[in-house]
Amino acid sequence: MSPALALLLVRALLAIGLYAFLAVVLISLWRDQRLAASTAAPPMAHLVRLGACPESGESFALAEVNLLGRAGDNTVAIDDPTVSSHHARLTFRSGQWILEDLGSRNGTRVNGMDLEGVLVVTHGDNLQVGEVLLGLRAGPAAGPGPGRTGAGPSPQGRFWPEE
């Protein structure tokens, strides 16, 4: 084997090794980026109770996974007879809010349309569970008042103090 051919072979092996090293580094960075994106905390968002009821204006801070319903163990507990015990689930996944009806008797609607299966919802959408209308809004929920999760008119028509 001539020295020129040996030198060419060494150069080719070094180039292949360098490209393999760069591929491993890029794949590692790509995996870390995907993992960081999938475990990112949900953006600050809340639900606001809408309508002409005494509880209108009540707000509920949202976590990554939120259960909506009448039962006390729900993230968003709604005391209304038209709402099922575990009515719907609102989840932040892959950078999106996803709403799913949990087989409720009175159904779930988004912007007036019946929900079938799962649906991606965004800030500004209106969600209806039973006969209760809720608005998905960006930002933190208003400060809690006594026994409530947000500021809004009390049953006597006065506003809870914001903290």
- In this predicted structure, what is the pLDDT of residue 76? 93
Give the list of residues 6+ apart from residue 51 with CB closer than 8 angstroms, or none: 132, 133
Pairing of strands 45-50, 132-138: antiparallel
Residue 151 DSSP class: -
Tell me how far apart the alpha carbons of residues 102 and 44 are, in angstroms, rounded to a whole number.
Answer: 24
- In this predicted structure, what is the pLDDT of residue 95? 85
Would you state the structure tokens that stand for residue 141, as one six-digit string?
């929920």
Whether the per-residue pLDDT at 65 is higher than 50: the answer is yes
- In this predicted structure, what is the pLDDT of residue 28? 95
Q: Which of 23-27, 112-116, 138-142 has the lowest mean pLDDT?
A: 138-142
- More confident of the two residues 145 and 19: 19
User: What tens digit of pLDDT does each residue of 7-59 get?
Assistant: 999 999 999 999 999 999 999 999 988 877 666 666 789 999 998 676 778 88
Inter-CA distances, 136 with 33, 79, 97, 99, 110, Å: 28, 19, 10, 11, 10
**What pTM value is reported for the model?**
0.63
- In this predicted structure, what is the pLDDT of residue 24? 96
Whether the per-residue pLDDT at 148 is higher than 60: the answer is no
